Structure 1
Amino acid sequence: MNKKTLFLLGVISLLVVGGVIWWLIGEKPEPEVKNPPLFRCPQEVVQNVDSPENKIKSDKCFAYIYEIPNGNWLHGGSTTWAPIRSKVNPKIEDIFPEFKLSYKQHPSLPPGSGTGILMLIKGQISFAESSRPLTDAELQRSRNRGFQLKQVPVAIDGIVIVVNHELDVAGLTLKQVQDIYTGKIKNWSEIGGANIEILPYSRPVYSGTTPFFQEEILSNKKFGENVIFIPTTTKALREVKANKGAIYFATASEVIPQCSVKPLAIAFESGGNFVVPYKGDFVPPENCSEQNRNQPNLEAFENGKYPITRRLFVIVKKDGSFDEKAGEAYGKLLLTDEGQNLIKEAGYSPIR
């Protein structure tokens, strides 16, 4: 073995030994954490909740919200809110057992955004839930009584158009929806369907969904004389299931999971992209079950690709009373990360 070969072997040996020593004593990269632990919210009010340290966390969890007033608080309003109430309110009362929430229905008027806001103005409830913004008339009525109303947006909702499963129509443009509900289009054959009379159904005007639909989709035009007003979504869905020409609109969380009706894709305009209001592949009625149902397309509602969306509001009476504190507290709770996650579980898009 010549000197050159010995020299090369020595260099290689030094490199190998040096590499082993560096690996043993050198800093090693931290292993990649593919699923970092989630922030877990406390299940009871934290100590010193109003401390500066805890106030910083007040946008995360119910338990970090301070100034929650004890008492029995009556609330009411939009039926669209029903899934949110059933998902969120029990959790709030688990954390704040002295913050008791009770839904109050008007003794004679049907439930809805307008009814709830009217009850709030009259002092019959502590705060209201609405599926539409406050009207000028409602704002003026509250001022006449010496206080202001405040609307706190907490969620985004999609309005879905549903038809009978046997109807051979997959989607509509916004203009076609408008023409159907103003009475301009009265037969499905006018828009590529079968020769079947259109039976358009709607909730009455006291519902928050109906004024929103009339203002935003119908451009404040009157409903057609052929529109059939029906008191509840449950009854409307029965009519749609029973009548091949029927059509109805309602909040996504109420109708998307239903096996009995078909949700339509909607496009902003003719030639535009049709966007379905459900997530993933459509589950046909024969495969629809408690464990396998269509779910709202929350991503399309959030990013604006689905054409018919709106905000949901907590309505607060600004009069310096304990009712005001209760309404403000409820709005703050829903805007925490915990509240927004529960809203998403209820079938609505979080607003933050």
Structure 2
Amino acid sequence: MVYAQIKAKLTGLFPQSPGVEVANNGVVPGEMSVVPQIPLGVDEVYKRYVCENSNPLTCAWTQKSLEQDPTAKQCLNCGFPAILPPKTEIRGYRGRYRIDGFLGGRGMGRLYQGVQLADQQPVVIKEYLLPQRVFNQEETREKKQAFERLAGLSLADGRVQDIRLILPWDAIADPTAERCYLVTTGIQDTYPTLRKYLHEHGAMNENEVYHVLNQVLQTLQFLHGQKFTLPSGQVQQGIAHGNLSLDSLLLIAHELEFFTHVCDLAVWETLFELPNTKQSSPTFTQDLKNLGYIAFYLLSGNTVDSNNQALDPKIEQHWPSVRQEFQAFLFRLLELDKPFISAEEARQALIQITPVTQNQVLVIEGEEETKKTFHPLYWLLLSLLGLAFLAGIIWLLIKIFYKPEVTTQDAVVCCLKDVPGVPPGKYNYTGEKSATWSYILQQSNLILQNQTLEEKLKESQPKLQINYRPEEKLEIAIAKVQSGQYNFAVTNLVNQLPQQMRYKEFAYDGLVVFVAFSYSQRDQNLPEPLRGQISLEQLRNLYTGKIKYWNQLNPQLPKLRVNLYIPSEAEAVNIFKERVLKEPNAIDTFERLQKINNQQDTFTDNEPIVITRLHTLEMVRRILQDFEKDDKNQAERIGSIGFATLSQVFGQCSVYPLAIVDGNQEAVQSLVQSDTNKPINPKTDLCDDKGSYSPNLEVFKNGTYPLSYPMVVVYLGDNSRPPIGQKFAEMLKTQEVQNLLEQTGLVPLQKNNK
């Protein structure tokens, strides 16, 4: 119900979906209205401009100047750079964009509604200014260079996760003007900030603030804990937001829910402060403290008191009435009590506090019980729900008697034959020869007897002829798509695609690490003493030769010789090097050990570990054979380990896929028991219970399984070409093909209703 309350209050503040109607000379009604607050740093940077609003980024005169003189480059009142007129075009690295209208100021920049010209999709363009009165020529050049190096983030492992973090699509330094532009896709950047919400509606209640905190802490946990790649190619483990405030959190409504999205990271936002500004490095703990102040202001309904003095959480009178345990939590965020050491710890502490339920009697120490009352919005919501129910009945009746053609690009349809707008003709596409897609596409009997997935796809779209021509290396395949030799490619998501390339996910896969398994001899198996899990650090030590016997890993394990296996598929090995080995020295050692050919029948402590490369199914057989050897000499006993893609190993019950531990995180198992949705364990009979377990969709979807990755269709973002790449992705996302992909061993995008 808390979501509905926020949604009701925000009626009129949100842009109309799917686009934003721009009117009144480019200003979106109700959006980005000027709030009588000056964002931190703006008044200092632009104080050389005598702005009557004290903030030229939001001053109405920059727009009035354009109305009076459509060619005006500066404000006619103070000389500050005027806003960009509609129809202005900007050339970026990932496309060309057209300005449709001015939205207003936020943080250190100004926002415009626009479109990407190639596909007419909506974008938001944030303009940062480097006016000559403030920055000299050398400072401007340095800031533009830094902007293009730093403005943007992507996960270093190539995954794409929606964790309510608004990230740039394109970063452009204007070569001739005193401006830089940050482009985001869609319309999320047009939604109101928390500052605007407070200005329009006042304080949030405790439950609403609880949900804001929970969502932002999730985003911070992601931001602080993941490894990111900057546009310069620099890889960084964990990034502090550094600019968390009421201005950098947006409220986005969706049906009966609201979400708090995070934007304007300090890594690029602070580039436009004064050159001599003393800047401290953003820290994770400062992010938490800033979030504490945000929560305090949301509860109070303002940032200043009646005397226009800053609200101070150290002053008891400045606190609104909240439950004692919730205030104690905020004290820790604000560092007024023992501070949290991480966003993860803070969120775990938050979820231990039960949210206030709708109409719950709230008792504050020293106060009377509050009387249960029903807010007028409650009755309004009931009325709206009644109307929605009636509308739903009408819609259902219409749907029964009238079935319009589906035209939405990303609509998920039932069957291959129902995918709309598939361009007929002959098309060639590619991928990596020794990779997952090549295996599942052309392997007979994976889905139907004597039929491949490739044959099934061709059978369902007779007017479409698509030919798969894999290349030896993925880099070659992507380059040939970029040059137009192929129409698209199918692969796992690579780390850094060229800027012109786009992709659509259609399934998930991942690496699994496995050891021999026999249910009848489970007490002698490795899964039992390993407790069904292994850490990434332990894997690094094994595959770099630091460990030769299992008891070196854990004294409770038997003294078994270690045999190491890897798959012949280059795709799987490359992901293993990137996700597990990580460091260049470890990768070099791993490569060197593969070249050692140990032909001796005996094994001594002085001999190096040997890594054997085999096809996946042969590797599975060899690992089981190693386990079943009946050697009388204890020193000759073997405990083998290998890894491969889940799609090729799933259902092979002679090996056990180990849960993976990443650092201090809990172990994550790739398979769950279908009836209980609990992870499998070494006591699960993988052979007799086939069909009773399946891939854990949730850990693949949210990326918590450390070795998971999406499967994608990659194509060139060029509207002059037939949209066969996009349409092929739609074909793969149909319910029919998602069922088939699940049979091949891939993890579907969602649970299928078979």
TM range (shorter): 0.5 to 0.7
Pair 1:252-2:658 in alignment: no
Of Structure 1 and Structure 2, which has the larger fraction of its residues in helix? 1
Pair 1:315-2:714 in alignment: yes
* Residue-pair matches, total: 285
SS of 2:729 mapped into structure 1: helix
* Compared CA separation, residues 134 and 197, structure 1 to 2 (3 A): same
Residue of structure 1 equivalent to 2:549: 187
TM-score under structure 1 length normalisation: 0.66
Q: Following TM superposition, by how much is the alpha carbon of 1:292 offset from its aligned partner in structure 2, in angstroms? A: 5.0
Q: Which runs of 5+ in 2 are unaligned?
A: 1-402, 448-452, 518-524, 595-610, 627-637, 674-679
Question: What does residue range 77-226 of structure 1 map to in structure 2 within 5 Å?
Answer: 77-78=431-432, 79-81=435-437, 82-83=439-440, 89-106=454-471, 109=472, 113-114=474-475, 116-117=477-478, 120=481, 125-135=486-496, 139=498, 148-165=500-517, 166-167=525-526, 168-169=529-530, 170-192=532-554, 193-203=557-567, 207-221=570-584, 222-223=586-587, 224=590, 225-226=592-593
SS of 2:593 mapped into structure 1: coil
Q: Which runs of 5+ in 1 are unaligned?
A: 1-50
Residue of structure 1 equivalent to 2:658: 264
Residue of structure 2 equivalent to 1:29: none
* Compared CA separation, residues 276 and 84, structure 1 to 2 (3 A): farther
CA distance in 2, matches of 1:118, 1:229: 31
* Compared CA separation, residues 77 and 56, structure 1 to 2 (3 A): closer
Kept in 1: contact 2:506–2:713 (CA 8 A):
yes
Letter in 1 for 2:580: I
Residue of structure 2 equivalent to 1:10: none
* Compared CA separation, residues 332 and 286, structure 1 to 2 (3 A): closer
Kept in 1: contact 2:695–2:747 (CA 8 A):
no
Q: Following TM superposition, by how much is the alpha carbon of 1:257 offset from its aligned partner in structure 2, in angstroms? A: 0.8
Residue of structure 2 equivalent to 1:239: 622
Residue of structure 2 equivalent to 1:295: 694
Deviations 1:191-249 (A, max 9, x none): 22222232222246x72222222222222433324352525322332332233432222
* Compared CA separation, residues 273 and 319, structure 1 to 2 (3 A): closer
Letter in 1 for 2:490: E
Kept in 2: contact 1:157–1:252 (CA 8 A):
yes
Q: Following TM superposition, by how much is the alpha carbon of 1:350 offset from its aligned partner in structure 2, in angstroms? A: 3.4
Kept in 2: contact 1:258–1:293 (CA 8 A):
no
- Choose which of 29, 49, 68 in structure 1 pairs with 2:422: 68
Kept in 2: contact 1:59–1:336 (CA 8 A):
yes
CA distance in 2, matches of 1:234, 1:122: 36
Deviations 1:232-285 (A, max 9, x none): 322332332233432222221211211232211222235x53333222156546
Letter in 1 for 2:424: N
* Compared CA separation, residues 267 and 164, structure 1 to 2 (3 A): same
* Compared CA separation, residues 245 and 119, structure 1 to 2 (3 A): farther
Q: Following TM superposition, by how much is the alpha carbon of 1:342 offset from its aligned partner in structure 2, in angstroms? A: 4.0
Residue of structure 2 equivalent to 1:273: 666
Letter in 2 for 1:307: P
Pair 1:327-2:690 in alignment: no
Kept in 2: contact 1:298–1:347 (CA 8 A):
no
* Compared CA separation, residues 230 and 151, structure 1 to 2 (3 A): farther
CA distance in 1, matches of 2:662, 2:643: 16
SS of 1:235 mapped into structure 2: helix
Q: Following TM superposition, by how much is the alpha carbon of 1:91 offset from its aligned partner in structure 2, in angstroms? A: 4.7
CA distance in 2, matches of 1:196, 1:207: 29
Kept in 2: contact 1:173–1:267 (CA 8 A):
yes
SS of 2:669 mapped into structure 1: coil
Kept in 1: contact 2:513–2:657 (CA 8 A):
yes
* Compared CA separation, residues 325 and 229, structure 1 to 2 (3 A): farther
Residue of structure 2 equivalent to 1:34: none
* Compared CA separation, residues 335 and 218, structure 1 to 2 (3 A): same
SS of 2:672 mapped into structure 1: coil
Kept in 2: contact 1:77–1:113 (CA 8 A):
yes
CA distance in 1, matches of 2:420, 2:734: 12
Letter in 2 for 1:132: L
The range that moved more, 120-129 or 185-194, is 120-129
Kept in 2: contact 1:149–1:316 (CA 8 A):
yes
TM-score under structure 2 length normalisation: 0.34
CA distance in 2, matches of 1:230, 1:319: 40
CA distance in 1, matches of 2:553, 2:505: 37
CA distance in 1, matches of 2:580, 2:460: 41
Residue of structure 1 equivalent to 2:61: none
Q: Following TM superposition, by how much is the alpha carbon of 1:97 offset from its aligned partner in structure 2, in angstroms? A: 0.9
Letter in 2 for 1:310: Y
Percent identical pairs in the alignment equals 27
Kept in 1: contact 2:429–2:466 (CA 8 A):
yes
What CA RMSD, in Å, does the superposition of the two structures yield over aligned residues? 3.6
SS of 1:295 mapped into structure 2: strand
Q: Following TM superposition, by how much is the alpha carbon of 1:80 offset from its aligned partner in structure 2, in angstroms? A: 1.6
Relative contact order, higher structure (CA 8 A, sep 6+): 1
